[in-house]
Amino acid sequence: MQVSRLSRDRRPADSRGLILPRLFVRFRFRLALVLFAFVGWVGSAMADDISFNRDIRPILSDRCYSCHGFDEKHRAADLRLDIREDAEWALDPGAPDDSELIRRILSDDPDEVMPPPEAHRKAISAEEVDLLRRWIQQGASYEKHWSFIAPKKIATPARSADAVIDHFVSLGHQRVGLEFSPAALPAKWLRRVSLDLTGLPPTAAAMRAFQADVDRLGEAAYAEAVDRLLASKSFGERVAMEWLDVARYADTNGFQQDAYRMNWPWRDWVVDAFNNDMPMDQFIAEQLAGDLMTNDSSGDESESGPSQSQLIATAMNRNHMINGEGGAIIAENLAKNSFDRVETTGTAMLGLTMGCCQCHDHKFDPIKQKDYYALMSFFNQIDESGMTSRRFTIKPEGQQYAERYAVDRPFIAVASPELKHQLAEAKSLTAAKQKKLLEQRDQYLPDFVQWVKEMRADDDLQVQRIRDDYVRRIVNTADLSKPNSGETKRLLDFYLDQTKPWSEARAELKAATLAEANIQARIPLVMVMRDNKPRDTFVLLRGNYETPGEKVTPAVPDFLPPLPSTDGERPTRLDLANWLISPHHPLTSRVMVNRYWQMIFGRGLVSTPDDFGLQGAFPSHPDLLDWLAVDFQESGWNLKRLIRAMILSKTYRQQGQVTAKQLAADPDNTFLARGGRSRLDSRFLRDQTLALSGLLVDKPGGPPVAPYQPPGIWEAMSLGQNHYIQDHGDDLYRRSLYTIWRRVVAPANFFDVPSRQSCSVLPSRTSTPLHALTLLNDTTYVEAARVWAERLATIEDDGERIAEAFFAATGRDATEDECITLMSAIQKYRDRFRSDPDAAKKLIAVGESKTLTESKTAGSLAASEHAAWTNLCLLILNLDETLSK
């Protein structure tokens, strides 16, 4: 685009000083009138009142700022519209039709119209032009971007946090002409709240008891139920799932080897933190900088360093993938590891899209490329290797396949003294065997030299003797005068491994090493943060580690509050953490509150939880978000208090029915005039199913488990190198939180889940036939239906049994039509399986859990009867209402 396009000459320079002040006076007067007229109106939004942040900035940011924003490299016509002073000559406050901005938007000359066609930006719509006109008419005032200003509490008449929510939501209703829906029935509410707070459904009995409680105690019953759920240890597991997605937790390293890592104690730390009411500011700070904290509770000087728990917390910044690929370059890996930390911090804590700034200044937000690297330098001083520093392979007795582990320093071993002792013994045994072996090594050298020389004289012999290409390639080049160095050593090792008696002693050593590794695998080596001497950090031009630019030191972007003073010392991660949780920080508390709102209501008050910047969505209820963010801080970052307020609100209690009017006025339920209905996260679908069937083994923590998965999936993703070794017994029925998560391929029966390869804060809810196939055919679900059917069989009457199953799954009594449909269904299934007893036997044999017939004395349930009810239970598990909350 040519510079001449927007000409500065259009407007006489000397007119500015004369006209503008007058306009501003006029504007202020008008605004005062507006405010006066509506005094007593609480809330920010008046249909006539243009808000720059809400109405105007999204248009300018989306269509204009990429060429007329603060990014000077891409600025066209030397015009920026993001600063009032610089934009003034394109605006004529009070006179939209005299404003160049409007003129250019409305121009039908392709050389003049804005945005220009070649920018491929959406044209500015008639409604948007109207907003811009009114904005200019009202004086074209600017505001600092809303999320960069510290939140404030607006006074409300409400007397409790939940009432505040309802107050602001009801103001929103007025804007769109809707009102609160009636409350959900108590059982339905309890089911929803249990799923939201624990990821598990209440039992049918609990729902009935709750109905009775409500009749007896009224409102108090709700509060009691919420407190009970918040106090259950399942709460931590449910909330941890969300944080694990954010923190890209997985049980392997990713990339080519995708070897196991052992950071699961961090996962358990997260669960415990939520269950123990850890204040969320501490939750953030310990994960960012627990290693730099002092553990003053002991009062003992010698133990004033971080506790083991604080160290484990910092594994959050080691959850990124680690590349151990053969050709990988350490400097590149180090850069990428730290990129990931910066971007995860950016998304998870700041709600900013830092990623852009790896290569260039942000196009929309005032983040400079230099800010990115200044943040990176906080992280660029840990003692990591850039590859993996500790690798071992295990193969427990009786296991068909070996499994590879690889972790990188710094790490800590988390184990009981007894296990540590066992490991130490195994290690000394290995060392002794190794020493013995090495002492013999020189005896073999003359024969080895001879062996190599023979092959050098005869190519065929090489192929005959050495199958491994990578070893064979050394034969001609090995320096035989240095048998214990470099590649020659590799060749010598190869030779020794097939030469007796060395090979026998070597086999013993291998066995000892394996025994040691098998013990090691039971002692998690948790990768943590521990600072070393800082590495120099440079702005990497275009994000390329090979082209370092200006050197930077730890700092935070200057459009945000400054770091607390460090008295001239180099700021640390702890300073960064304290900055994030400082009371004046405009982002952290808002970002956290918004994500938990999203967890409970299905959609954030800011619908772009990953972007609070200029291109992000404006909050649907800005005053509510701010009120909650401030209140959250004032409460000591008390998460349970925040969630309790959401759950006890009238807003949350609304029923899920949708009317045509609501659908037309508010299809996405942005304004919350009905209860949120959405399909459960696939991981909680599995938990719910296990719970309904009675199969769930609700045991917390520990190493990941491997429940059912069709064979061949890991093999296909690793060219046969990684094998899924399925567990048996209780470990088949643990909560999904504990299912082993391989970085290159998520567990097969999870769908619409983050890849856990990078930070993810926006849940995905799609609907494909593949999901239906999983829920209909996966062993997990079929077995659950089978076991559930058997448990239900204690209810004699068909109708009662159906009623019970339906109620347990949905939290609602089936209607008469529904009962009729299900009664006729079970009759059909009975007929079908009676006429095909073989099919019945096969169906009730799905899964490894014993049938009650096998395990107990009962034996009364005929196979055909059991199969028919299994099919019916599978149907109930797949009802839309069962799948949804």
Partner 1 sequence: MNLRRRTFLGALSLSLGMPALQSLMAADIDSDNAALPNFPPRAKRVIYLMQSGGPSHVDLFDDKATLRKMQGQQMPESILGGLRQTTMTAGQKSKPCLAAAWDGSRRGQSGMWISDLLPHTAGIVDDLCFVRSVYGEQINHAPAVTQLMTGHNLPGRPSIGAWLTYGLGTMAQDLPSFVVMTSKDRENTCGQLFFDYYWGSGFLPGKYQGVPFRSSGDPVLYLSNPAGISRDTRRGMLDDLAAMNSLAHAHYGDPEIETRVAQYEMAFQMQASVPELADFSAEPQGVLDLYGPDVNRKGSFAYNCLMARRLAERGTRFIQLMHAGWDQHGNLPNQLPIQCKDTDQPSAGLVKDLKRLGMLDDTLVIWGGEFGRTPFVQGDINNPTAHGRDHHPRAFTIWMAGGGIKPGSIYGSSDEFAFHVAEDPVHIRDLQATLLHLCGIDHERFTYRHQGLDFRLTGVETARVVKEIIA
* DSSP class of 739: B
Segment near partner 1 (CB under 8 A); pick from 148-156, 442-450, 549-557, 823-831? 823-831
Provide the mask over 555-584, with x wherever binding to partner 1 is found by CB under 8 A and - wherever it is not: ------------------------------
Which residues lie below 8 Å from residue 777, measured CB to CB, with a gap of 6+?
Answer: none
Residue selected from 26, 453, 570, 828 as contacting partner 1 according to rule CB under 8 A: 828
> DSSP letter string over 697-720?
-----SS-B-----TTHHHHHTTT
Residue selected from 295, 308, 670, 755 as contacting partner 1 according to rule CB under 8 A: 755
H-helix segments, 403-551: 417-440, 445-457, 459-465, 469-472, 486-496, 502-520
- Residue 62 or 272: the one with the smaller Cβ distance to partner 1 is 62
From 629, 433, 589, 611, select the one nearest 516 (Cα to Cα).
433
Segment near partner 1 (CB under 8 A); pick from 371-379, 494-502, 567-575, 833-841? 833-841
Q: CA–CA separation, 114 vs 133, rounded Å?
A: 15
Contact indicator for 444, 484 with CB cutoff of 8 Å: no
- Contact flag: residue 813 with partner 1 (CB under 8 A): no
Residue selected from 377, 693, 774, 851 as contacting partner 1 according to rule CB under 8 A: 774
From 583, 648, 555, select the one nearest 158 (Cα to Cα).
648
- Contact flag: residue 547 with partner 1 (CB under 8 A): no
Residue selected from 141, 256, 295, 670 as contacting partner 1 according to rule CB under 8 A: 256
- Residue 22 or 122: the one with the smaller Cβ distance to partner 1 is 122
Q: Is 405 helix (H, G, I), strand (E, B) or coil?
A: strand
- Contact flag: residue 353 with partner 1 (CB under 8 A): yes
* DSSP class of 347: I
Q: With CB under 8 A, what is the number of residues at the site for partner 1?
A: 113
- Residue 567 or 817: the one with the smaller Cβ distance to partner 1 is 817
Residue 783 CB, nearest approach to partner 1 (Å): 9
**Residue listed under structure tokens 């409680």:** 213
- Residue 58 or 702: the one with the smaller Cβ distance to partner 1 is 58
- Contact flag: residue 764 with partner 1 (CB under 8 A): yes
Residue selected from 5, 75, 84, 841 as contacting partner 1 according to rule CB under 8 A: 841
- Contact flag: residue 660 with partner 1 (CB under 8 A): yes
Residue 825 CB, nearest approach to partner 1 (Å): 4
Residue 764 CB, nearest approach to partner 1 (Å): 5
- Contact flag: residue 27 with partner 1 (CB under 8 A): no
- Contact flag: residue 690 with partner 1 (CB under 8 A): no
- Residue 294 or 547: the one with the smaller Cβ distance to partner 1 is 547
Residue 412 CB, nearest approach to partner 1 (Å): 29
From 518, 221, 541, 519, select the one nearest 360 (Cα to Cα).
541
Residue 302 CB, nearest approach to partner 1 (Å): 43
- Contact flag: residue 845 with partner 1 (CB under 8 A): yes
Q: CA–CA separation, 624 vs 49, rounded Å?
A: 19
470's tokens: 């990578």
Residue selected from 329, 429, 505, 795 as contacting partner 1 according to rule CB under 8 A: 329
Q: Is 878 helix (H, G, I), strand (E, B) or coil?
A: coil
Residue 615 CB, nearest approach to partner 1 (Å): 2
> DSSP letter string over 595-664?
HHHHHHHSS-SSS-TT--STTSPPPSSHHHHHHHHHHHHHTTS-HHHHHHHHHHSHHHHB-----HHHHH
Residue selected from 191, 318, 363, 653 as contacting partner 1 according to rule CB under 8 A: 363
User: H/E element holding 245?
Assistant: helix 233-246
Residue 252 CB, nearest approach to partner 1 (Å): 11
Residue 476 CB, nearest approach to partner 1 (Å): 5
What are the b/e assignments for 389-399, b being 16+ CB within 10 Å? beebebeeeee
Residue selected from 81, 315, 342, 875 as contacting partner 1 according to rule CB under 8 A: 875
Which 605-634 residues touch partner 1, going by CB under 8 A? Answer: 608, 610-611, 613-616
- Residue 52 or 339: the one with the smaller Cβ distance to partner 1 is 339
Which 715-754 residues touch partner 1, going by CB under 8 A? Answer: 716-721, 744-746, 748-749, 751-752
Residue selected from 21, 182, 305, 712 as contacting partner 1 according to rule CB under 8 A: 712
Q: What are phi and psi of 625, to 5 degrees?
A: -60, -45
- Contact flag: residue 871 with partner 1 (CB under 8 A): yes
Q: CA–CA separation, 28 vs 462, rounded Å?
A: 92
Residue 562 CB, nearest approach to partner 1 (Å): 25
Q: Is 550 exposed, middle or buried (0-12, 13-18, 19+ CB in 10 A)?
A: exposed
Residue selected from 232, 607, 758, 853 as contacting partner 1 according to rule CB under 8 A: 758
Residue selected from 289, 843, 852, 861 as contacting partner 1 according to rule CB under 8 A: 843
Q: CA–CA separation, 137 vs 94, rounded Å?
A: 4
Contact indicator for 768, 774 with CB cutoff of 8 Å: no
Residue selected from 567, 769, 854, 857 as contacting partner 1 according to rule CB under 8 A: 769
Largest CA distance in the chain: 103
CA atoms within 13 A on the CB side of 612: 28
Residue selected from 679, 723, 791, 834 as contacting partner 1 according to rule CB under 8 A: 679
- Residue 551 or 842: the one with the smaller Cβ distance to partner 1 is 842
Residue 812 CB, nearest approach to partner 1 (Å): 9
Contact indicator for 193, 202 with CB cutoff of 8 Å: no
- Residue 59 or 271: the one with the smaller Cβ distance to partner 1 is 59
- Residue 632 or 724: the one with the smaller Cβ distance to partner 1 is 724
Q: Cα 138 from chain centroid?
A: 43
- Residue 87 or 746: the one with the smaller Cβ distance to partner 1 is 746
Residue selected from 399, 772, 794, 858 as contacting partner 1 according to rule CB under 8 A: 772
659's tokens: 């009317």
H-helix segments, 778-836: 779-792, 798-810, 816-834
- Single-letter amino acid code for the residue at 412: I
- Residue 304 or 815: the one with the smaller Cβ distance to partner 1 is 815
- Contact flag: residue 333 with partner 1 (CB under 8 A): no
Q: Is 421 helix (H, G, I), strand (E, B) or coil?
A: helix
216's tokens: 């007896």
From 341, 345, 274, 245, select the one nearest 763 (Cα to Cα).
245
Contact indicator for 550, 359 with CB cutoff of 8 Å: no
Residue selected from 549, 564, 710, 859 as contacting partner 1 according to rule CB under 8 A: 710
Segment near partner 1 (CB under 8 A); pick from 98-106, 235-243, 356-364, 506-514? 356-364
413's tokens: 């071993």
Q: CA–CA separation, 278 vs 612, rounded Å?
A: 26
- Contact flag: residue 696 with partner 1 (CB under 8 A): no
Which 443-482 residues touch partner 1, going by CB under 8 A? Answer: 459, 462-463, 469-470, 472-477
- Supply angle C-alpha 170, 173, 175, rounded to 5: 120
- Contact flag: residue 874 with partner 1 (CB under 8 A): yes
Which 94-133 residues touch partner 1, going by CB under 8 A? Answer: 120-122
Segment near partner 1 (CB under 8 A); pick from 401-409, 515-523, 671-679, 687-695? 671-679
- Contact flag: residue 671 with partner 1 (CB under 8 A): no
Residue 789 CB, nearest approach to partner 1 (Å): 13
- Contact flag: residue 217 with partner 1 (CB under 8 A): no
Q: CA–CA separation, 126 vs 133, rounded Å?
A: 10
Q: CA–CA separation, 394 vs 517, rounded Å?
A: 5
- Residue 608 or 635: the one with the smaller Cβ distance to partner 1 is 608
